[in-house]
Amino acid sequence: MSKSAVANFVHALIAVLAGNAAYFLVMPCLPLPARHVAPRLDLGLVVDFWFCLVILGIVKMVARRAGRSRL
């Protein structure tokens, strides 16, 4: 496995764990349609995915800046 594949996996793992943690922390404050109910596909699942996607963007940005500072 290449270094970039491992880095992508780690970034995605961090994003999923942190995004889900953030979503479940703020879920009680969200309106009812934005709260995910476990076995269903609903708007809450989309909101949860959005949290993970935002965290992934932040992780990638931080990793890119950290890579530049090493050069």
Given a contact cutoff of 8 angstroms between Cβ atoms, the answer to whether 36 and 27 are in contact is yes
Given a contact cutoff of 8 angstroms between Cβ atoms, the answer to whether 3 and 48 are in contact is no
pTM of model > 0.85 = yes
> pLDDT (tens digit, 0 to 9) for every residue of the chain, 71 residues total?
898 899 999 999 999 999 999 999 999 999 999 999 989 899 999 999 999 999 999 999 999 998 877 65
Given a contact cutoff of 8 angstroms between Cβ atoms, the answer to whether 56 and 15 are in contact is yes
pLDDT of residue 71: 58
pLDDT of residue 69: 75
Given a contact cutoff of 8 angstroms between Cβ atoms, the answer to whether 49 and 20 are in contact is no
